[in-house]
Structure 1
């Protein structure tokens, strides 16, 4: 089988045009093409008047060797890569010893648990929050009634923070083993639409993610894995040898239980602040890392569609338009769009009382009125919170608390129209764009809950982005603050064996440990760490 890449056809082409384009590209007769299947589909909208569909296609031919020889120097005609997943080891029959433990049931922990279960190691998965449907009820409790459950919310519970997001399933990580394909394949088995295997920018949406997470839990349990919900890890039992070496021996749970464990995947997510403190107190190597902060900015989706697609806006092959923007400011900061959610809403994402955090989410249809994205500035440890590995957490908490007060101290979010923000005055009434954040938006001046350098950078970047996306800086566009949980403010440093630099048996993983960003990359990291755990278990006998 051969793969042809960068095969372009006009928007709205008939289905039969793809086979004709394959034959033309390869210079073959109709009877030489046995079969073809789309491997990837994207669109090129750089010219709004002539938007093209761009395909990668796997083809079966009568004489593939002859065709491949003719295109030997063409990187767009190559053998189809083998994207199948093969686990590196299997648990020995009748294996004895401690079972591996996974802390956290977000995307990283989910795939770490799944791979360990598929290899026969019967993992124990500890999740501080609730099963996903109960967690969903608690999350809606904050959105509808302003009632926060600190252990069950957007950040904590089965499925992790990605459950209440756009469900984006693409990443820019290097993936020579096609582990991302393994993630997508497992999602399809769990009920995701098959098109995520071919779309260039696949997404799922919150409601579908809920049922998929449940399906994958059942798969893990059927393979011998065990879930323990509402089991928060309170402490880590780490033994120090006479030579100074450190080894994990077990976990203290908030239930009072002690769980003996010597292979633990730490997949706690970027908001497990108490766990980060405990790890630091126990001497686990941890360091500050950059993250970003800012606001959510909203525009009517129709504005974005017209700006990106022109007269083709609304075409079913294009869907709701997205964007990606970046600007290097004169004050040395970079402003960029983050986690853009077409046809979605802004949601309350705090996990701590007395603080306001925003995030964005979409359903699979992406059919809601507004588009939103993070509008954020890069934050650097040496420049903005030097001196302590956990100082980034204090930085986040400070501005989240300021946002809570600016929003009226009721989990409403502080909001401001772009025109008022640029003019340096508080907003007093909504304009053409109504914010989607629940439990509500309190109009004010966002400058009181953002650092001065962020305010200055935003005021420079907004007109720049407005020249790239029409109406981006429209006076009535809405900004809602604050967005602080773009990524983990710490890295729990690990070595090439995926274990903590100074604690044997502890395997930091995923976004919370500073090694992923988003559902797909977190899932891929979970697979890599699970493989390392399995290899270590086999080596130990």
Structure 2
């Protein structure tokens, strides 16, 4: 197989034009070209508004060696496709029944691996199935009635279900887990374009159906998924797991449990600390959600306020503050909504989400500042949790349970917003005008302003007076790491920390990849124990 890189065409090109350019580059006749598929597609906007797609394409041809002799280019090479493979146990093996705690990407993809390997895992999810969860979340947004067990953070699909559904990741993985995750999504009904787009995304509305389809595959293959089933305790004997306790009453005996609990499972973190698992506080970031007109971001990226063929544009910005703290955009949602993502009574957190069409008036992104355990008022492995909670309590009080929102000009002047300007909020959940500057420690506010002014030099208009800030963005990543060894087990044998909540991922794809990784480790450890 040949890999051809740097094939550039106008964004409005047809598939036939791409194939024609491919044959011309390789000097092929139609008969010599057996098949081809796009490996990667990226946008070249350096000459905007004239925009191009740049492709990497894998090609199967007749007489590959002869083709390579007649074309000489550093952008053409011979390659062998790497396919992800699953370990598999014979059906007559007495495989254990692993218990997976959490049905976010890490838990679902771990269960997927295990059923492919021949096991029959039990997935325990504290929240509701995705259909009931959607109803519960929408009721919360309209009434403020919070269900602490099923919300934007908890329930089938995990926190990523109510997000932009980004599938890009910076995780390097030579064995092909990244591509395997995308293929599983496509098998579940996602568009094939996610296999090669530079920044693929799904959107909340698409994720709901995909999550259900992955769950159905797990169940049809012999696994089981149970909802409203919260793991409240672990039984440990001689430093090894023997059982899990569900809803403070039901005992399920097992010697293997995957902790794919998500970054907001604070009560579970407390229980694990009491059980003596090795854990450590870790750095993360906090900040505010920023809303801009989507047309501003489109103009910056495309040179035009609207490109229906490309959809709403995204951005990514970073800055190193004078005090050494990083300031950066996170979970950017083109054409999206700021959402009330709270999971605890009396505490308020926000996040961003988009639907697949990305068709709201605003672009939103978290603008966050890095914090370390040195910033936490308390000591201990759960100090970051308490730091988050105190910020969320202040946000809840400021907005009286609604999302507090402020114009950027008023934020800089440290005064409450009384009237919105050209930018109006696009939000899920009630909101109210307030002085958002009171949410964060002043040193973080100053760093945030420094970063926003720096971003304005990259994206003209970014620091416009009517830009909106809301908060608090406190759930960017897990505040703890549950330590695991080379066998992917914790300090207690049989317990496998997994995904974002355990401190080993950051986003849908990386969490799903870690789920595959842990599924492989469980299978390998069992085979080696025979």
Matches within 5 A, 1:219-258: 219-240=217-238, 246-258=239-251
Contact 2:318 2:327 in 1 (8 A): yes
Alpha-carbon distance change, 232 to 21 in structure 1, aligned in 2, over 3 angstroms: same
Q: Does 1:376 align with 2:375?
A: no
Contact 1:331 1:453 in 2 (8 A): no
Alpha-carbon distance change, 524 to 385 in structure 1, aligned in 2, over 3 angstroms: farther
1:339 deviation in Å? 0.6
After superposition, the CA RMSD in angstroms is: 1.7
Alpha-carbon distance change, 42 to 226 in structure 1, aligned in 2, over 3 angstroms: same
Which of 166, 179, 186 is residue 188 of structure 1 equivalent to? 186
Q: Does 1:405 align with 2:403?
A: no
Matches within 5 A, 1:285-434: 285-311=278-304, 313-384=305-376, 387-407=379-399, 409=400, 411-434=401-424
Aligned to 1:484: 474
Aligned-partner Cα distance in 1 for 2:378–2:389: 16
1:163 deviation in Å? 0.6
Q: Does 1:261 align with 2:254?
A: yes
1:427 deviation in Å? 0.8
- 1:146-205 CA-to-partner distances (Å, cap 9, x unmatched) read 110000001111100011011111100001011111111111111111111121111111
Local SS of the residue matching 2:19: helix
- 1:15-34 CA-to-partner distances (Å, cap 9, x unmatched) read 43323322343344555434
Aligned-partner Cα distance in 2 for 1:15–1:91: 42
Alpha-carbon distance change, 496 to 68 in structure 1, aligned in 2, over 3 angstroms: farther
1:80 deviation in Å? 4.2
Aligned to 1:535: 524
Local SS of the residue matching 2:46: coil
Q: Could you tell me the TM-score, scaled by structure 2's length?
A: 0.96
Aligned-partner Cα distance in 2 for 1:171–1:505: 29
Local SS of the residue matching 2:208: helix
Aligned to 1:468: 458
Give the unaligned 5+ runs of structure 1: 241-245
1:41 deviation in Å? 1.3
Aligned to 1:38: 38
1:35 deviation in Å? 3.4
Aligned to 1:272: 265
1:315 deviation in Å? 2.9
Q: Does 1:515 align with 2:515?
A: no
Aligned-partner Cα distance in 2 for 1:452–1:81: 54
Aligned to 2:176: 178
Contact 2:27 2:71 in 1 (8 A): no
Local SS of the residue matching 2:406: strand
Aligned to 2:207: 209
Aligned-partner Cα distance in 2 for 1:127–1:270: 14
Matched pairs, number = 530
Aligned-partner Cα distance in 2 for 1:62–1:252: 60
Aligned-partner Cα distance in 2 for 1:194–1:413: 37
Relative to structure 2, which stretch is displaced further, 450-459 or 265-274?
450-459
Aligned to 1:243: none
Give the unaligned 5+ runs of structure 2: none
Relative to structure 2, which stretch is displaced further, 462-471 or 146-155?
462-471
1:357 deviation in Å? 0.5
Which of 94, 103, 109 is residue 96 of structure 1 equivalent to? 94
Relative to structure 2, which stretch is displaced further, 363-372 or 91-100?
91-100
Aligned to 2:3: 3
Aligned to 1:436: 426
Relative to structure 2, which stretch is displaced further, 31-40 or 517-526?
31-40
- 1:89-134 CA-to-partner distances (Å, cap 9, x unmatched) read x233233353111110000000001110111100011111111111
Aligned to 1:112: 110
Local SS of the residue matching 1:347: strand
